[in-house]
Amino acid sequence: MVRGENSRFLHDRGRGRGFHQRGRPRRHTFTAETFRKKFEESHYARGGSKQDPLNLNGLEADPQEACSAPQQLDVSHSDTEENSSFLPKNKRDPLNLKSIGKEKKKRQRDRDRSRSQSPIPAKLAKADSSQEVPSGKSEEQKEAGDNAVDQIEKEKTAKDKKEFFNKKYCYGNFDRYYGIRLDAGQRDSRLEVLRKEWFEKKTILDIGCNVGLITIAIAKDYAPRRILGIDIDDHLIGVARKNIRHYCDESIEIKGKYPASFSQQFGPVAHLPTTFKTKFPDNVWFRRENYVLQSDELLETIQEEFDVIMALSITKWIHLNWGDDGIRRFFLRAFRQLRPGGRLILEVQPYTSYRKRSVMTEAHRENYRRIEFRPSDFEMYLLETVGFESVEHVEPPSAKTKGFQRPINVYIKKGPNSISSEKASESTPTWTTPIATPTLGATQTPSTGAELTDISPAYKSSDVASA
């Protein structure tokens, strides 16, 4: 009996709500239609939908039927102004949520205008005032205000870009210089007027080498003993070093970004080379350096080191950055570093090209205003004051644009024969007492009172003082 009663109890329980025959809970299945109905019942007002969540359409048609709340809204009167103020303008956005983002952007534009240092032009300020007109104004006036703000931001961005450009390239260290001067794959025309005998088996310094195209071409085609390119821009020096591998023949082994012989001869490429081979690519290297000395006193430490010094299209930038004293100091250092018979190959920019670049920095403006030593005076200064013996004028090579067709002047320092003959003519046979240790300065003899100096007349301190 107990067993039968228990069986009947379980059987009746299985028929109960929420349980199937074995006493387990039933699984409720929801269809899309069921979910939609539950969502609309909980999220939308009575009679509302996704397109009209507050049932505003029903409110306009029959407001009393659309709302079954205990206190119904009285909108049956014919006052159109009150009806229009009660009903939202945008039924898809009854709470006006989209205007929040517009107000935020407007406040941000107002803050940007207040922080701007440059004054707003009168025309733009007038157009910008349309931002604050009432909503009843046309949309065209609002768009005009937005366009004015956008134009101000564009002008500010252009000004920032110009300041960045002037600060980065104030030394003339343009990283796309050869891309403007030459066409793709074109050989620099200045190499056609530079003679091979000037460089063959010589030690050369190229000042302001940029990315090193001329420097590498001379190292490969003119067979110098060694050539060193220097530039004030560290980035350009890095590019010039990597460009060496592009001029190497297929027989030359490349290790990483440099010829393999560099690491075998000089050690890691980060170290500066101390010795060179006369065969390319081991006869060329690049180094970052500012060639203009800070003071005239440092000229006394300069020694003879090179047979040829090249200064192509850099005099304008030296003049604008360091003034008349800087360009004079540059010429004196180049003269002192040349060996007897050496050459200074100089490509001078005309004074008319100074004005365009004189506004790049404040130092440029000040130095340009004070310039008295103009490029037309360079030749006389180099021959009469610095001490070069002669100058050779080379016809300007052809160029892509007329502005790059500049004459090249080759200044020649007195050779060893000229210096020895000059010293012999200045010496006299009336010395009566030997001089044990000649010193820099004046030592007089009892008989003639002549001066004895152990340096060339070109190195006298009077030349430095006159600079």
Mark the ranges of the chain whose per-residue pLDDT is less than 70. Answer: 1-48, 50, 58-87, 91, 114-143, 145-146, 263-277, 418-467
What is the model's pLDDT at position 51?
Answer: 72
Domain boundary among 378, 394, 418: 418
What is the model's pLDDT at position 38?
Answer: 61
* Look-up of token digits 């440099």: 258
In a domain, 461, yes or no: yes
Report the phi/psi class of residue 392: left, alpha or beta, with left for phi > 0 and alpha for psi in -120 to 50.
beta
- Domains identified in the chain, total number: 5
Q: Residue 112 belongs to what domain range?
A: 106-168
Beta carbons within 8 Å of 364's beta carbon, 6+ residues apart: 170, 320, 321, 357, 358
311 with 275: CB under 8 angstroms? Answer: no
What three-state secondary structure class fits 228? strand
294 with 306: CB under 8 angstroms? Answer: no
126 shares its domain with 53: no
Domain boundary among 168, 201, 216: 168
334 with 327: CB under 8 angstroms? Answer: no
205 with 230: CB under 8 angstroms? Answer: yes
337 shares its domain with 210: yes
Distance set, CA 452 to CA 257, 403, 420, 423, 441 (Å): 54, 49, 15, 11, 7
In a domain, 412, yes or no: yes
Which tokens is 103 given?
A: 């107000």
313 shares its domain with 244: yes
What is the model's pLDDT at position 261?
Answer: 72
In a domain, 100, yes or no: no
* Whole-number Å distance between alpha carbons of 306 and 336: 9
Give the helix ranges, DSSP H, for 249-298: 260-266
* Whole-number Å distance between alpha carbons of 334 and 382: 11
Closest by CA to 117, choosing from 66, 156, 77, is 156
361 shares its domain with 445: no
* Whole-number Å distance between alpha carbons of 155 and 112: 13
- How many Cα atoms within 13 Å fall on the side-chain side of residue 444? 4
In a domain, 333, yes or no: yes
Which tokens is 279 given?
A: 């065969």
260 shares its domain with 371: yes
Give the helix ranges, DSSP H, for 224-350: 234-243, 260-266, 315-337
Distance set, CA 189 to CA 174, 194, 230 (Å): 19, 9, 21
285 shares its domain with 398: yes
Closest by CA to 146, choosing from 199, 108, 95, is 108
What is the model's pLDDT at position 130?
Answer: 46
Q: What is the CA radius of gyration of the chain?
A: 43
* Whole-number Å distance between alpha carbons of 154 and 157: 5
Give the helix ranges, DSSP H, for 244-342: 260-266, 315-337
Closest by CA to 177, choosing from 205, 206, 207, 210, is 210
In a domain, 99, yes or no: no
Residue type, 224: P
**For the segment 404-452, what is each residue's pLDDT rounded down to a tens digit?**
889 999 999 998 776 555 555 555 444 433 433 333 333 333 333 333 2
Beta carbons within 8 Å of 27's beta carbon, 6+ residues apart: none
* Whole-number Å distance between alpha carbons of 46 and 59: 11
Beta carbons within 8 Å of 98's beta carbon, 6+ residues apart: 90
What is the model's pLDDT at position 252?
Answer: 80
End-to-end CA distance of the chain: 132
**For the segment 236-263, what is each residue's pLDDT rounded down to a tens digit?**
999 999 999 888 877 787 777 777 777 5
Rounded to 5 degrees, φ, ψ at 216 are -70, -40
In a domain, 338, yes or no: yes
* Whole-number Å distance between alpha carbons of 371 and 319: 8
What is the model's pLDDT at position 67?
Answer: 46
* Whole-number Å distance between alpha carbons of 54 and 46: 8
Q: What is the pTM of this model?
A: 0.57
255 shares its domain with 383: yes
Distance set, CA 27 to CA 10, 17, 297, 302 (Å): 20, 12, 98, 98
Distance set, CA 344 to CA 303, 313, 395 (Å): 16, 13, 16
CATH of the domain at 341: 3.40.50.150
Residue type, 137: K
Name the DSSP class of 44: S
* Whole-number Å distance between alpha carbons of 410 and 392: 5
224 with 203: CB under 8 angstroms? Answer: yes
* Length of the chain (residues): 467
Please, what's the b/e burial string for 107-136 (b: 16 or more CB within 10 A of its CB; e: otherwise)? Answer: eebeeeeeeeeeebeeebeebbebbeeeee
219 shares its domain with 319: yes
303 shares its domain with 207: yes
228 shares its domain with 367: yes
Rounded to 5 degrees, φ, ψ at 267 are 80, -155
Query: Would you report the helix, strand and coil content of the chain in percent, each value rounded to 5?
Result: 50, 10, 40
17 shares its domain with 111: no
299 shares its domain with 360: yes
